[in-house]
Structure 1
Amino acid sequence: MECPSGATGPAPAQAPGAGGELLLNVTDRNVSDWLVKSRPEFYKTRWGGFTFGYNNPFATANFSRYRAAVRRIGEALLGVGRDALLNVTDDQLRNQTYDISLNDTDGQKDNFTYVPFGLVDDAFDKLEDFAKNSEILDNVKIWYNNKGWASSVAYMNAFNNMLLRSRFNSSVKRWYGIEAINHPLNFTRGQLRRELSKQSGISLLHAICVIFALSFVPASFTLFLIEERQCKAKHLQFVSGVRPIVYWVAEYMWDMFNYLISAGLCVAIFLAFGEEAYVSERNLPGLLLLLVLYGWSSIPLMYPASFVFTVPASAFVTLACANLFIGIVTTIATFVLEILNDEQLQMIAEILKKVFLVFPHYCLGRGLMDMAANQLRADTLAEFGFSAKRDLFEWTFLGRNLFCMLIQGVLAFLLTLLIEYRPGCRRRQLMPMAPISTDDMDVDVQRERQRVLSGRADKDILRVFNLTKVYKKGRLPAVNHLCLGVRRGECFGLLGVNGAGKTSTFKMLTGDTTISYGDAFICGRSVIDDPVRVRQQIGYCPQFDALDSLLTGREHIEFYARLPTRAATSAKLSTAIALIGDPPLVFLDEPTSGMDPAARRLLWTCVSDMVRQGCSVVLTSHSMEECEALCTRLAIMVNGQFKCLGSLQHLKSRFGDGYTVTLRAHPGQLAAVERRLQESLPQGEVREKHHSQVSYQLPSVDLRLAGVFQLLEGLRAERLVEDYSLNQTTLDEVFVRFAGEQTEMLEDEVAGSRLSLNDQSTRRFRGPKKVRFPAKQETPAPAAPVGNADGPTASSELLPPSPPTVDVGQVRLTDITAV
């Protein structure tokens, strides 16, 4: 029910008091009525008041009537009248008790002892005299709001100060006053238990908030680790000379530095709110150690997950939720079991408090709760005059929590190093393999295999013995018993379509993946047994750009140049990193991919200079032009095996399809040129014809090059052709021939390669369909041609060669892989 507007009447006059309070003048008002109607306006702001000039209500009371009423009540209670007191004298009546004996109906006597009525009369006489003398108007009535526990005492003391200061003049009265102190009553046992439970709940809330905040910080440190591992930047650092222990110690130190910033913010919040349980002079060291050791133990606990997850966001969400779940559930479980009044549950709580010490999240939360409980205990005992001091680092207090977190940090970091180094696991992963059949193996590949296995390649900088990689049991090996030796100062080319095993071979040689069978030696050191020192002897340009998106090109170069042993476009940068420090052996996995022609030529010049200085290079490429410009030897890889191996000229001579004649006819003479070629070289066939230009394919069987040159010079002398060129079969054609034997691309081979982090979980690769070519009869190598060592080439004016084509769907080399 609400009072209508204006029910309180006009606003009373008001004036500020000396203590800042507001005094309202409600003279000539019904005070009780005004207090009720104005309650909403002054809710929780009006706690009392004074009424001056108050009349004493006892001054006008009729005390004779009160005396008679009391006497009648006494007579009624006693059941006797005045006649029963005839034998009692006045002195006895006023000054002493007396006995009255009455006969009951059964003839027995009952004895009663009574207070004399004279004493009651005297009391009423004195009360009447006091009331008659109090008819002055100097009385004061004090009002107080009983919702304020100390309001009555406070307003009584305010009036007493008025009386006191009224005795002094205005110059000195402000120096005098009466101070009232309110001391609360001591708790009963039940009140104390309820207060302790309330404070324990607050400490639990504090612990949960800190656990919640600090659960995300360690989990966030895995984001960069996973991204580095997926983009191969971590592996590139290892290959460039960074030892794994140095990598992880540096990572640990940097993560701890960032964590301490978050921990410092937590301490600042406790200081801002004045939480003595955590930031008092005695408790602050305990809080600092709890926060520091939590970071010490929880950060390396997250590191092993960086070896498992492939998507950084998934790792962050999973680890953060795991931290929250473990920390909150373990802390709340022990708290709830402790407050329940059951001996068995209390015993279970004590067991769990020891078991949960294996989790740093629990050690932190429980430590904060114990600190708050200890402070509450000390404050409670201090109210009774007792002092309760407890050593924060006592074993049963914070000592065991701190010790457990210290041990957990060391063990978690050692576990990370064990996963990284995998001591003893490299040899155990080698699986027994059946000996490979050499019946269908090319004679050059067999010869290289015998050279390596017999020990005649022991001086080579790179020796590969039966190198094999199987990603899953029951699947075809991605790399199948490779044997190879690379000499010092040699540039060896490794060709093959995607899925042939090139990248898997590079990964095994650089230590990025384990070797299923076999071994490899670089500078005399085993890749399996001594991977750290092997990495210090090599440079590596991966197929995909292993670069940090947060660094500029200059920063990449400066970073890798400062490493102990030794990057524009990303391809140039990766290649530059591989060449820093002049390593004795460099692996280049498609180094010119995405480069412009000028940059490609510059890289070729750098690689050639390194080879001339004695550096060995092993490269993979899809560019036959690149292999012809750089490689002294090369091998074509199909289904994890070498199908051919040797120098460029050797491969062209053995596996080439003859020669290609390209002519440019005078206007209107193209038909005559074709007729003369068909009459003189009936074994040839037209490959391409564009306007006035024709390409003619000649087989190498029963072909006299001198006769061919004679024919071509005659055509030019007759003014039928402007110019011509004669070329041996290109390396592209040899490569395409062997590429047709490649089966469906192995999914495991592709899985070993890095994909983009955005499409890694959805993209699916399919290999090229098998392309069949007409079988070619084995023919002996042709006689040494007349011309330079690279092949018989003669022309009056060299024409730009037309792009190599194949008969199946006009598929170029760069179009072999289909996604």
Structure 2
Amino acid sequence: MVGLCNCLTGSFIAAAFVILPVLEQQSKSKHLQQIAGVRLPLYWLAEFLVSFGVFIIPAVLCLYATIYMDMIEYKPFAMQIRYLILYGVFGWAFLPFVLFLSKFLKSASGGYAKILSSNLTLAIVCINIITLLYNPEFGFHDAAKTAHDLSMILPSYALSSGISQLGSHYQLEKACVHFDLPLLCGLKPESKCCTLFQDSYFSWHELGIGKQLTSLFIFGLVCIFLLAMSESGVIRKMRIKIEKYKSSRRSVFKQIYETMELSDVDVSNENRRITHATITTLALTDTLIIKGLTKIYKGKFTAVDNLNLGVKKGEIFGLLGINGAGKTTTFKMLTGDCSITSGDAYINSFSIKNHRRKAHSYLGYCPQ
């Protein structure tokens, strides 16, 4: 019961940390910090450290609430340290998981509800099934152990089982410490003091929490790796290649102007000027160079189609067009708020795609 209660508490607390990252993405606060020069590793490190520091406070309160309910196995100081270590490693695992998921959520409250409900449902189902399998009347002890080990990939289950096993280990230790174990195990080797009792609480034995700590630590590493991959642009570049492949098969680049020709002389001249000149030559006169900039959403809808534009030093420019013409999308690509399907843009001769950080050092931006 103590393990289940801590599973509920830990899940409610940890899932709440998805709210702030989602709100920062909605308000473009994170994006503005990137443009201002904040490095993404530093941003996420600060996010994690602050979240972890805040997470530890309710973890300590949970510990003292458990002690207040007269759970004597958690009263010794050494047990409190083990309890907090388990909670700390749970935070290490669950917080990067929440931060990674925040990148794909549109609503803070909806994201919190989804993470909490799915996590609790899976954890509680696993707890109930494994508890039933461990019932001696059913004879599924080996299956229960296998299910228990597999369920360790769920952080909330690992926390729940770890808290329960800490209490069980303490009670067994308290019962067995009064016996002469070598003599007892020689006379009655099937005794629980001989088969289950271990000196270390952190062992991989049945009542140790070594498996829980290891699985939580590995889960946290995997989530950090996924977060780093998503922010490094690897996933974005793969998605762009897929979009370009699909668009080439459908000839999407021609879908906007396939029934009309550019009749504006200024537009035609600007297209020729940007297309036929090198970036080095254009950079002598133009601060901003947009060359063949294209954005295709999901391989079907072309928001920006082969845009060519140069803005000379000291000039002020704006984009004019009907709703859906791609004005906002163009600025999003220039500021790195969305990926570029093809083409590129240059600020003071620095490429948005290849030298984004340097290019953005010359850029100020107020989102729409």
> TM-score interval w.r.t. the shorter chain?
0.7 to 0.9
1:790-801 residue pairs with structure 2 within 5 A? none
Cα distance, 1:496 vs structure 2: 2.7
Cα distance, 1:512 vs structure 2: 0.6
Contact 1:430 1:518 in 2 (8 A): no
Find the residue that maps to 1:495 and give its secondary structure: coil
Contact 1:430 1:515 in 2 (8 A): no
Q: Which residue does 1:413 correspond to in 2?
A: 224
Counterpart among 241, 248, 251 of residue 428 in structure 1: 241
Cα distance, 1:473 vs structure 2: 4.1
Counterpart among 227, 244, 262 of residue 40 in structure 2: 244
Q: Which residue does 2:142 correspond to in 1?
A: 347
1:684-703 residue pairs with structure 2 within 5 A? none
Cα distance, 1:227 vs structure 2: 1.6
1:114-263 residue pairs with structure 2 within 5 A? 205-263=1-59
Bigger CA radius of gyration:
1
Counterpart among 104, 124, 129 of residue 333 in structure 1: 129
Counterpart among 254, 268, 287 of residue 461 in structure 1: 287
Cα distance, 1:493 vs structure 2: 2.7
Find the residue that maps to 1:529 and give its secondary structure: coil
Q: Which runs of at least 4 in structure 1 moved beyond 4 Å after TM superposition?
A: 382-389, 433-439
Residues 290, 340 of structure 1: alpha-carbon distance in 2 compared, 3 angstrom cutoff: same
Cα distance, 1:521 vs structure 2: 1.8
2:203 aligned with 1:394, yes or no? yes
Find the residue that maps to 2:219 and give its secondary structure: helix
2:255 aligned with 1:442, yes or no? no
Contact 1:226 1:312 in 2 (8 A): yes
Write out per-residue CA displacement over residues 680-734 of structure 1, whole angstroms, 9 at most, x where no aligned residue: xxxxxxxxxxxxxxxxxxxxxxxxxxxxxxxxxxxxxxxxxxxxxxxxxxxxxxx
Contact 1:465 1:481 in 2 (8 A): yes
Structure 1: which amino acid aligns with 2:295? K
Find the residue that maps to 1:494 and give its secondary structure: coil
Q: Whole-Å Cα distance in 1 between the matches of residues 105 and 268 of structure 2?
A: 42
Cα distance, 1:379 vs structure 2: 3.0
Find the residue that maps to 1:498 and give its secondary structure: coil
Q: Whole-Å Cα distance in 2 between the matches of residues 391 and 308 of structure 1?
A: 41
Find the residue that maps to 2:344 and give its secondary structure: strand
Counterpart among 267, 276, 279 of residue 75 in structure 2: 279
Residues 531, 333 of structure 1: alpha-carbon distance in 2 compared, 3 angstrom cutoff: farther
Contact 1:467 1:520 in 2 (8 A): yes
Q: Whole-Å Cα distance in 1 between the matches of residues 40 and 160 of structure 2?
A: 33
2:111 aligned with 1:315, yes or no? yes
Counterpart among 455, 459, 471 of residue 297 in structure 2: 471
2:313 aligned with 1:488, yes or no? yes
Cα distance, 1:508 vs structure 2: 0.8
Q: Whole-Å Cα distance in 2 between the matches of residues 534 and 207 of structure 1?
A: 52
Q: Which residue does 1:745 correspond to in 2?
A: none
Q: Which residue does 2:185 correspond to in 1?
A: none
Q: Which residue does 1:503 correspond to in 2?
A: 328
Write out per-residue CA displacement over residues 653-705 of structure 1, whole angstroms, 9 at most, x where no aligned residue: xxxxxxxxxxxxxxxxxxxxxxxxxxxxxxxxxxxxxxxxxxxxxxxxxxxxx
Contact 2:243 2:296 in 1 (8 A): no
Contact 2:229 2:235 in 1 (8 A): no
Contact 2:10 2:156 in 1 (8 A): no
> Which structure shows the bigger proportion of residues in strand conformation?
1
Uncovered stretches (5+) of structure 2, i.e. residues with no partner? 182-192
Q: Whole-Å Cα distance in 2 between the matches of residues 338 and 303 of structure 1?
A: 35
Q: Whole-Å Cα distance in 1 between the matches of residues 174 and 303 of structure 2?
A: 72
Structure 2: which amino acid aligns with 1:357? M
Residues 255, 354 of structure 1: alpha-carbon distance in 2 compared, 3 angstrom cutoff: same
Contact 1:330 1:356 in 2 (8 A): yes
Q: Whole-Å Cα distance in 2 between the matches of residues 257 and 212 of structure 1?
A: 20
Structure 2: which amino acid aligns with 1:369? S
Q: Whole-Å Cα distance in 1 between the matches of residues 14 and 78 of structure 2?
A: 28
1:665-676 residue pairs with structure 2 within 5 A? none
Q: Which residue does 2:353 correspond to in 1?
A: 528
2:274 aligned with 1:452, yes or no? yes
Residues 523, 423 of structure 1: alpha-carbon distance in 2 compared, 3 angstrom cutoff: farther
Write out per-residue CA displacement over residues 464-506 of structure 1, whole angstroms, 9 at most, x where no aligned residue: 111122224444x222211011222222232234333211110
Cα distance, 1:325 vs structure 2: 1.6
Cα distance, 1:428 vs structure 2: 1.9
Cα distance, 1:330 vs structure 2: 2.0
Write out per-residue CA displacement over residues 282-304 of structure 1, whole angstroms, 9 at most, x where no aligned residue: 43332121011111111111122
Counterpart among 364, 367, 379 of residue 162 in structure 2: 367
Q: Which residue does 1:379 correspond to in 2?
A: 174
Q: Which residue does 1:306 correspond to in 2?
A: 102
Q: Whole-Å Cα distance in 2 between the matches of residues 265 and 318 of structure 1?
A: 25
Contact 2:243 2:299 in 1 (8 A): no
Find the residue that maps to 2:209 and give its secondary structure: helix
Find the residue that maps to 1:540 and give its secondary structure: coil
Contact 2:262 2:268 in 1 (8 A): no
Contact 1:468 1:518 in 2 (8 A): yes
Cα distance, 1:381 vs structure 2: 2.9
Q: Whole-Å Cα distance in 2 between the matches of residues 457 and 446 of structure 1?
A: 17
Contact 1:222 1:312 in 2 (8 A): yes
Find the residue that maps to 1:395 and give its secondary structure: coil
Write out per-residue CA displacement over residues 257-310 of structure 1, whole angstroms, 9 at most, x where no aligned residue: 110011010121233345342332443332121011111111111122212221
Q: Which residue does 1:538 correspond to in 2?
A: 363
Find the residue that maps to 2:297 and give its secondary structure: coil
Cα distance, 1:533 vs structure 2: 3.1
Compute the TM-score of the two structures, normalised by the length of structure 1: 0.39
Moved more, 269-278 or 400-409: 269-278
Contact 1:356 1:362 in 2 (8 A): yes
Contact 1:278 1:284 in 2 (8 A): yes
Residues 326, 530 of structure 1: alpha-carbon distance in 2 compared, 3 angstrom cutoff: farther
Q: Which residue does 2:184 correspond to in 1?
A: none
Q: Which residue does 1:570 correspond to in 2?
A: none
Q: Whole-Å Cα distance in 1 between the matches of residues 242 and 332 of structure 2?
A: 16
Residues 369, 424 of structure 1: alpha-carbon distance in 2 compared, 3 angstrom cutoff: closer
Q: Which residue does 1:267 correspond to in 2?
A: 63
Cα distance, 1:319 vs structure 2: 1.0
Cα distance, 1:352 vs structure 2: 1.2
Indicate the structure whose relative CO is greater, using CA pairs within 8 Å and at least 6 residues apart.
2
> Which structure shows the bigger proportion of residues in helix conformation?
2
Contact 1:279 1:287 in 2 (8 A): no
Residues 394, 472 of structure 1: alpha-carbon distance in 2 compared, 3 angstrom cutoff: closer
Q: Whole-Å Cα distance in 2 between the matches of residues 281 and 227 of structure 1?
A: 39
Find the residue that maps to 1:493 and give its secondary structure: coil
Q: Whole-Å Cα distance in 2 between the matches of residues 240 and 338 of structure 1?
A: 56
Residues 424, 488 of structure 1: alpha-carbon distance in 2 compared, 3 angstrom cutoff: farther
Give the superposed CA RMSD.
Answer: 2.3
Residues 478, 488 of structure 1: alpha-carbon distance in 2 compared, 3 angstrom cutoff: same
Structure 1: which amino acid aligns with 2:360? R
Cα distance, 1:376 vs structure 2: 2.3
Q: Which residue does 1:689 correspond to in 2?
A: none
Moved more, 252-261 or 483-492: 483-492
Compute the TM-score of the two structures, normalised by the length of structure 2: 0.84
Structure 2: which amino acid aligns with 1:291? Y
